[in-house]
Structure 1
């Protein structure tokens, strides 16, 4: 059974490409999306424990991915949070990890690693 992914990404083109790419893995299925910090937190609050992986962009239409990541602290053991960003500076990576992200991936150069991470989550939830 594929892992349930909640995708927080404000770029429609990236969503349109990422959702089928995750489905093609056979290991992940996007159950919902959000474009802003408030929208993401609202969805997470209504669906506690129902998702396996939150994939969060750093910059959003409103707010930032950091607020979403921080809100996920205290999540269940099977739930993981990763940041997928075009802005993977060292400071961004540290801030995301400090906020509670399990991993940070660069959209431009680390998609293969991101997909492998998703496959790993599928193999050992």
Structure 2
């Protein structure tokens, strides 16, 4: 069964290339797409039980993927949230993991690893990480940073 995937990406070009790649190479079925934090948070709230994987970019047309990650903290333990970004510095990776990402991948250098991760998730071979609570101290630290 394909992995029900929600994609948070504001670039239409990336969407047009990434969705078929995920469907062909990672057994994913994209069930929803958003290009802004507001759209993503609303979709996650309205479709809480309809996805297994959320793929989130950090920089969006409005808002930040970090806010989407925070909104996904109340997800079920079997739902994974992955960051796919062009800005995968060590600091950004740490911040993403601190606010709830299960994994972080660089779009330009780690796409193959990302697709392998998605395929493993579709096969239920990815270990589930504990979901962080909304009152996690890292959120306060993240909000204090620019």
Q: TM-score range by the shorter chain?
A: over 0.9
Structure 2 residue matching 1:114: 3-state secondary structure: helix
Question: Unaligned regions of 5+ residues in structure 2, if any?
Answer: 126-146
Q: CA deviation at 1:3?
A: 0.5
Structure 2 residue matching 1:30: 3-state secondary structure: strand
The answer to whether structure 1 residue 59 and structure 2 residue 59 are counterparts is yes
Match of 1:49? Answer: 49
The superposition leaves residues 42-99 of structure 1 with CA deviations (integer Å, 9 ceiling, x where unpaired) of 0000001210000000000000000001110021121000000000111100000000
Counterparts of 2:23 and 2:117 in 1: how far apart (Å)? 14
Structure 1 length normalisation: TM-score?
0.97
Question: Unaligned regions of 5+ residues in structure 1, if any?
Answer: none
Structure 2 length normalisation: TM-score?
0.83
Contact 1:5 1:31 in 2 (8 A): yes
Q: CA deviation at 1:22?
A: 0.8
Q: CA deviation at 1:26?
A: 5.5
Counterparts of 1:91 and 1:46 in 2: how far apart (Å)? 31
Larger radius of gyration: 2
Counting matched residue pairs gives: 125
